[in-house]
Amino acid sequence: MDSNSKCSRFQIPLGSMARSMFFKALLLASAISIVSLLHLLPSMDLAPKTYDHDCIIEFEEDSNLTLTPGSYLFQSRVLNSFWGSFDSLSCKKEINLVSSIVKELKGERLLNFEAETLCIGETSNIAVSTLKKLGFTNVINHRVFSFNKKNFVYSLDHHHDESFDFVLSKDLGKVAVPALVVLEVERILKPNGIGALLLDFDDNDNINMIRYASPISALLRNSSIVHVSLVNNHGLVVFKKKSESKSETESENRSSLFYHQVLPEDCKSVNFAKQFMNLIEPPLAKETPYQEKTTYLPKFKDVSSSKKNLVYVNIVEDEVGDWFPQSYPIHKKDFNVYFVHYNTSIMLSHVKGPRVTFVYHPELNENFKDEAKVNVGEADVKEDEEFDLVAWFKETVENADFVMVKMNIAGKVEMKFLSEIYKNGVICFVDELFLSCSESEDGERERCMDIYKGLRSNGVFVHQWWNTHELHQRSNV
């Protein structure tokens, strides 16, 4: 037998053995990969990142999850490709849903962009991203569900009572005890805070929202249902937490109004000044010699050249020499000026030139009714009460190009006027507002600060006015 025949005899079994070993190794590697994947799946976030030009949601890293290069490659190249198309469609639906909810609640004046917000649910990361893009500045999420377990994490204990102004909760149908979600949302809401609960329906044809809202209403201890509707085939039940104090005064109710009632989206003055709101001087609890300069709006916008009809309204201001900011970028002679007061002596000191009008309004005097009853009798007083300050103000400013208002809100009549023009949206004609407030006592000082902050949180360009000459003498803008 020659050497070639011997070699061919040994090559056949060696080749067969190599193939056998190769397939065994391949099977072993596959088995190891499958086992590794099964260990990885329970802790893996299968919706890490969706890449789409309309939907980019960042991956929320789990500090307890460590991925090897191989497992990360498998997840990013294989699993993400498989689930990516489904995630993209789901993500867009979530974005549209959250956007529709915000539009509806802002339309109802139940929500503002400064609200401290918590989003609850499996897709809460998408909700957070969407809200931030819409302009919300303080938003976090709490993913109460895990991917492979449909149980509810039964408490939100690390969130203290009364922590949030707005809570958006989804996936109530995926928890064992939905009532716990409702109670927890109510617990962490601040007084006057808004809770929004989303409900899923199997049949969208015959939906009675009142029937779905009634069980939620029965669970609420310190809140009331304020809005119920259908949004993108989801039920939306909105409730508002009651104020902490049942003995809340009328003035406190009005100051809280500026926080919790949102101005219309087409509010002219808010849209005009919103890009400069972060430049306005901060409100101070008391006047100091080192306070920041007043940042007047015309410093950022060329008002005098582009806007011809400039209106200045002064309501109950007694200072003769300080009725107009001395360092204001526009001269007072460029304005049509209106003084609204109960004291006719103000007319003699202020109305000294053209384009200056005095508007007599005796009710601005807190003692007007008592004095009038003594002097002329109650029947004659009723005839004098026909002047409608709000109606006059709207008629005066609604066609103006730029409106500046300075007023004292220490009295009940003035505070009522401010509340009314805010509620009916007339304040949207006011571009720049100066408010002075009685701040002699701690309680009043806190109320005044609440008014300033509440107005600013909804986009009103408002300044503090300290009833002194010094503030505007120091301002050098």
Cα(415)–Cα(423) distance, integer angstroms:
12
Series of mean pLDDT values for 10-residue runs along the chain (477 residues):
51 62 75 64 46 43 42 49 57 90 90 90 88 91 54 60 91 76 90 91 62 81 87 90 60 63 88 87 62 80 78 76 79 91 78 84 69 46 65 94 90 88 95 80 68 86 69 37
pLDDT at 475: 38
Cα(385)–Cα(111) distance, integer angstroms:
36
Residue type, position 421, single letter: I
Domains of the chain (ranges; CATH) run: 89-241 (3.40.50.150), 250-474 (3.40.50)
Token pair 């897709």 is found at: 123
pLDDT at 285: 60
pLDDT at 366: 66
State in Å, rounded, how far the first CA of the chain is from the last one.
111
Q: What are 139's strand-pairing partners?
A: 117
pLDDT at 474: 35
Four-CA torsion 210, 212, 214, 218, nearest 10 degrees: -160
How many CA atoms lie less than 13 Å away from 37 in the CB half-sphere? 12
